Amino acid sequence: MTRTVTPQVSSPEVTASAIPEAIALPGLFSSEFVQETAALTRRLFIQLQRRPTTLIAGVIQPLMWLVLFGALFQNVPRGLFGESDNYGQFLGAGIIVFTAFGGALNAGLPVMFDREFGFLNRLLVAPLASRLSIVLASALFIATLSLIQTAAIVGTSAFLGAGLPGPGGLLLVTAIVLLLVLGVTALSLGLAFSLPGHVELIAVIFVTNLPLLFASTALAPLSFMPAWLQVVATLNPLSYAIEPIRYIYTHSDWSLTSVVMQAPFGAVSMVAALAVLVVFDAIALLAVRSTLKRTLS
Amino acid sequence: MTPAICIQNLQKCYGSVNAVQNVSLQVEPGEIFGLLGPNGSGKTTTLRCLCTLTTPDAGTVDVSGISVLEHPKRARQLLGYVAQEVAIDKVLTGRELLQLQAALYHLPSQQSSDRIHHMIDLLGLTEWIDQRSGTYSGGIRKRLDLAAGLLHQPHVLVLDEPTVGLDIESRVIVWNFLRQLREQGTTILITSHYLEEVDALADRVAIIDNGSVLATGRPSDLKDQLGGDRITLRIREFTPVDEVETAKSALKSVSCVQEVIVNPAQGNSLNLIVTPQSDALTTVQQALHQAGLPTFGISQSRPSLDDVYLAATGKTLMDAELAAASRRDPKEERKQNMR
């Protein structure tokens, strides 16, 4: 009783042989890729506009850190925190990097919710030029948020007496923040596609966030740490973002060859720190690409 | 003619669960094809394989002659998929969702706004389209989802349980809309566990159970092939087992009765298959009377789609639904549907 009757229906306009030639397949960096990336990014910004709470909290939180945590060591002897005038100035660089890091670490959450609610299926059944557009849209969104947060922190620090780097310095601070955000966003999206659900993702974010902060030079200089923590802190990519920014803040005469950190294994120059961040991004993107290939192919 | 959809020997396991054992389907261009089966019978998995969301373990899937496995992007351009769980971003308005959808299918901006406008008209969404979709009722959501699935004018529209949870009015709107689409030459594959829906819409139907296709054909042909009329008989509202047995043996000796089936799910009602003849009802009632049994209710009908289902699978669709409901693991299914 299988396949008994076939109705005779009028001929459709498409035949099998015509289709493969008729449809051009756009690839990466085509105008189609730009179109879909722009549309996906727009969606994230519409969400932000209608639910601005995350951005407001995301700006207020680092400022609270800056004001309250900065006041904690208000009266330490001058010069204790390296070449910084005060702890607030020392802390500023740490807060900038820590905030950008935290934001990027959460980049995977919206994607995870899209997976859980089935919205991702809508994207996956569409003939996207490349599914990297999903990743790129998130990265653009998070990078914008991080820059807004950074601007708020830089402004508030200046108001609190930490000074303001020159235009070149601000440009380099921006570049460092973007480098860090790119790598961490990639890792977070990789987790969002490989972990089973948002509970697990939040758990991973939770156990990663603060330990990486404490095991970096965000809150105290390397010289305060025991030898083993110095090793950990100099293996932590966050330190390679914090120290150059801190150096820019305390040295108006900074250059790319300035030594920004005395690691246990030797001196790290500004350009070396930047190189470490670039390598970190490359590793993160490579690691994530295989995950995306596996789950999104 | 190249079939709009050709699925051959499809297989898919999730761990130890054999979701699709052996599904072969051929859907001709321009027809509405219904995939009928209880929840958990492998309908959704079949559709997910068709729409490139899931890679099958074995078998081939072609859309208008294009292999979904070899050329997924091309296949996606030809397919429109409307999932059972309506996935909309509740923060976006309906219009913004359609704009996003248009960009995902790379429609040029003028064409995009023309088509969005057209879809809003066609599905009667004007009143709601600029409100956030989180405020929509189930029927409006489904209409928006349909609009999104059709925006790029797919050759083949794939709908997973299109009217589950909808009120009667919305259901009729969706049905009429699908009929209109067919008139315009769109091929439509729907899954359903509503007999009525498949009967009302589908040009052809495949009955699927436990991941295998058991029968395929026009609903009317499938019913005609069964032959005989059906009599549903209830001796009492809830009949005791001994009375049912007495009735069964009494009725078996009646010449026009071909088969007697007891349905415990309906208070031990009796389903009879009888030779179509005008006095079948009276004959059956007389036989009952002679056996000293009362009649609570009796009715005669032509074979229904449910009877087709019963003949193909050995159980009614409702029983299969109940059995499937006790076997299902919603958490596991949600996991399978996550990417």
How far apart CA A73 and CA A86 sit, in angstroms, is 9
Q: What percentage of chain B reaches a pLDDT higher than 70?
A: 95
B159 in contact with chain A, both atoms CB, cutoff 8 A:
no
Q: What is the mean pLDDT of chain B?
A: 88
Given this model, what pLDDT does residue B338 score? 67
- pLDDT tier for residue B47 given thresholds of 50, 70 and 90: very high
Answer for the pair B110, B123: CB distance below 8 angstroms, yes or no. no
Q: Is A53 on the interface with B (CB under 8 A)?
A: no
| Shortest CA gap A265–chain B (Å) | 44
Which residue carries 């405020």 as its tokens? B135
State the alpha helices, DSSP H only, in chain A. 18-22, 31-50, 53-64, 70-72, 87-105, 108-117, 119-124, 132-159, 167-194, 198-214, 227-235, 237-250, 270-296
Q: Half-sphere exposure (CA, 13 Å, Cβ side) for A183?
A: 21
Q: Does B263 touch chain A (CB under 8 A)?
A: no
Which residues from chain A sit within 8 angstroms of residue B188, using beta carbons? none
Nearest to B105 among A46, A117, A126 (CB): A126
Provide the number of CB pairs (under 8 Å) joining chain A to chain B. 148
In tens, the pLDDT along B68-114 reads 999 999 999 999 999 887 778 899 999 999 999 999 999 999 999 99
**B5, B26, B100, B220: which to substitute to probe chain A, counting the most A Cβ within 10 Å?**
B100
Q: Which residues of A touch B100 (CB under 8 A)?
A: 39-40, 42-43
Burial of B136 (0-12, 13-18, 19+ CB in 10 A): buried
**Chain A interface includes B31 (CB < 8 A):** yes
Is B4 touching A (CB cutoff 8 A)? Answer: yes
Q: Which residues of chain A have pLDDT under 70?
A: 1-25, 296-297
What mean pLDDT comes out for the span B104-132? 93
Domain positions in chain A are 30-296
pLDDT of res. B110: 94
Q: Does A24 touch chain B (CB under 8 A)?
A: no
Residue B316 pLDDT grade (very low, low, confident, very high; cuts 50, 70, 90): confident
Is the Cβ of B212 closer than 8 Å to some Cβ of chain A? Answer: no
Beta-strand pair B204-209/B32-36: parallel
- Using the Cβ of A116 and the Cβ atoms of chain B, whether some distance falls under 8 Å is answered with yes
ipTM value, please give it: 0.82
Tokens of B311: 């003949």
Residues 6+ apart with CB under 8 A from A239: A216, A217, A233, A261
Shortest distance, CA A29 to any CA of chain B (angstroms): 14
Selection from A241, A67, A48, A237 nearest residue A145 by Cα: A48
In this structure, what token pair is assigned to residue A209?
Answer: 């966030």
Q: What is the mean pLDDT of residues B255-277?
A: 84
B contact residues 6-25, partner A, Cβ 8 Å cutoff = none
The secondary structure of B262-298 as a DSSP string is: EEGGGTSEEEEEE---TTHHHHHHHHHHHTT---SEE
* pLDDT value for B336: 66
Q: What is the pLDDT of residues A210-268, one digit of tens each?
A: 999 999 999 988 988 999 999 999 999 999 999 999 999 988 889 999 999 988 888 99
- Chain A nearest CA to B238, separation (Å): 36
Q: Across the interface, do B74 and A23 touch by the CB < 8 Å criterion?
A: yes
Question: Is A125 within 8 Å of B78 when comparing Cβ atoms?
Answer: no
The verdict on A1 touching B (C-beta cutoff 8 Å) is yes
Give the rounded distance of the alpha carbon of B157 from its chain centre.
14
**CB distance B106–A129 less than 8 Å?**
yes
Q: Give exposure, A218-251, as e/b (b: 16+ Cβ within 10 Å).
A: bbbbbeebeeeebebbbebbbbbbbbbbbbbbbe
Asked if residue A292 lies in contact with residue A131, where contact means CB atoms within 8 angstroms, the answer is yes
Count of C-beta atoms within a 10 Å radius of residue A158: 13
- In whole angstroms, what is the distance from residue B107 CA to residue B262 CA? 58
A260 touches B: beta carbon within 8 Å: no
Local structure of A89: helix, strand or coil: helix
Q: Concatenated DSSP letters for B24-82? A: EEEE-TT-EEEEE--TTSSHHHHHHHHTTSS--SEEEEEETTEETTT-HHHHHHHEEEE
- pLDDT confidence of residue A24: 56
- B138-141 contacts at long range (C-beta below 8 A, 24 or more positions apart): B138/B86, B138/B165, B138/B166, B138/B167, B138/B170, B139/B166, B139/B167, B139/B169, B139/B170, B139/B173, B141/B86, B141/B88
Nearest to B44 by CA among B19, B27, B24, B80: B19
* The two three-digit tokens of residue A34, written as one number: 């730009």
Place of tokens 């492998």: B42
- Which pLDDT score is estimated for A8? 36
B307: which strand partners? none
Predicted TM-score (pTM) of the model is 0.83
- B105, B334, B335: residue with CB nearest A127: B105
**What's the pLDDT at A12?**
40
Query: Token pair for residue B172?
Result: 């009729």
* B55 Cα to chain A: minimum distance (Å): 9
Best mutation site among B7, B27, B53, B73 for testing chain A: the one with the most A CBs within 10 Å?
B73
Q: Which of A51, A118, A127 sits opposite B85 (nearest CB)?
A: A118
pLDDT, residue B166, reads 83
CB B44 within 8 A of CB B84: yes
> Is B331 in CB contact (< 8 Å) with chain A?
no
The alpha-carbon gap from A137 to the nearest alpha carbon of chain B, in Å, equals 13
Task: Output phi, psi for B217, to 5 deg.
Answer: 165, 180
Cross-chain residue pair A9–B30, CB shorter than 8 Å: yes
Interface check B225 vs A, CB under 8 A: yes
The residue whose two tokens read 């699908």 is: B178
Q: Please report the domains of chain B, with CATH numbers, ordered by start residue.
A: 5-223 (3.40.50.300), 228-302 (3.30.70.100)
Residue in B with minimal Cα distance to A14: B64
Contact residues, A window 3-22, toward B, CB-based 8 Å cutoff: 3-7, 9-17, 19-20
- pLDDT surpassing 70 at residue B66: yes
Q: Which residue on chain A is closest to B226 by alpha carbon? A: A1
B324 pLDDT higher than 80 = no
Q: How many Å separate Cα B27 from the centre of its chain? A: 15
Q: Do A43 and B89 make contact, defined as CB atoms within 8 angstroms?
A: yes
Nearest CA distance, B217 vs chain A (angstrom)? 5
User: Can you tell me the mean pLDDT for B145-171?
Assistant: 89
The pLDDT value recorded for residue A10 is 37
- Say whether residue B78 is in contact with chain A using an 8 A CB cutoff: yes
